[in-house]
């Protein structure tokens, strides 16, 4: 199974990484815009990154009442966005309404369900009242999301294999929490894996940001990850 690399743009502005993106355009197809950049620059950040030749993964993790989320999906669909996230913890009706909005506004938009953040472990879940293990909670929420019509799931790489065994093969799995070999520490993520291991487990996409943009040579770091994926 082919696995694509998504560059996470964890900066306030596209201009801070534009030079690297220009050098990688054509070799890497996807870039992720999260809350930091979208809050700082708004929809223009999406247009700028798309204008550099990338398909945009807008990672806003929508989580609100169903009507508000549906309207947010409609608004995002007016931008050059190919993937959009929402929290599966928002429940069945919220996800169902989001899917309806996608179908009416942008059928090609891939809605991704965020299950358990990769920064959380079993103790963190217990503090929020969830007695299940991260894997069990991820599986429960992923099955609910797919049943509501979402086309993909965001999960830690440790949950890829269990989800592959239980979800339809057409469901896309997107894995943050990726650390290339030799990367020191885990930053704020608790459940991590190397790019090759995640690809072998069945990820469709891996998300990498700091390991590329904090490297001495970001282009070389990105190309090393691509090479690792190619041999996985």
How far apart, in whole angstroms, are the C-alpha atoms of residue 231 and residue 228? 5
CA angle in degrees (0–180, nearest 5) for 216-221-224: 150
Helices assigned H by DSSP within the chain: 18-24, 35-41, 43-51, 66-76, 92-105, 122-127, 134-147, 160-166, 195-201, 210-213, 218-230
- The three-class DSSP label of residue 4 is strand
How far apart, in whole angstroms, are the C-alpha atoms of residue 232 and residue 226? 10
**Is 61 annotated as catalytic?**
yes
CB atoms within 10 A of CB 227: 12
Which one is catalytic: 32, 61, 172, 214?
A: 61
Measured in degrees and rounded to the nearest 5, phi and psi for residue 207 equal -115, 125
- The three-class DSSP label of residue 205 is strand
The residues that are catalytic are 61
């Amino acid at each position: 199974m082919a696995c694509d690399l998504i560059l996470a743009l964890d900066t306030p502005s596209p201009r801070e990484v534009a030079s690297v993106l220009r050098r990688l355009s054509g070799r890497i197809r996807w870039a992720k815009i999260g809350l930091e950049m979208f809050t700082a620059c708004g929809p223009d950040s999406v247009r700028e990154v798309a204008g550099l030749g990338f398909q945009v993964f807008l990672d806003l993790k929508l989580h609100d009442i169903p009507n508000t989320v549906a309207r947010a999906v409609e608004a995002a669909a007016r931008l050059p966005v190919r993937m959009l996230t929402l929290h599966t913890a928002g429940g069945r009706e919220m996800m169902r309404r989001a899917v309806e909005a996608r179908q009416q506004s942008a059928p090609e938009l891939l809605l991704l369900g965020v299950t358990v953040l990769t920064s959380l472990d079993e103790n963190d879940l217990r503090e929020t009242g969830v007695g299940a293990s991260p894997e069990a909670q991820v599986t429960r929420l992923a099955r609910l999301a797919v049943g509501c019509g979402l086309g993909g799931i965001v999960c830690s790489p440790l949950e890829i294999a269990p989800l592959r065994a239980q979800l339809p093969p057409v469901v896309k799995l997107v894995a943050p929490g990726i650390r290339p070999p030799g990367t020191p520490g885990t930053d704020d993520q608790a459940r991590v894996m190397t790019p090759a291991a995640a690809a072998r487990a069945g990820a469709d996409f891996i998300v990498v940001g700091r390991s590329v943009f904090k490297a001495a040579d970001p282009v070389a770091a990105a190309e090393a990850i691509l090479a690792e994926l190619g041999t996985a």
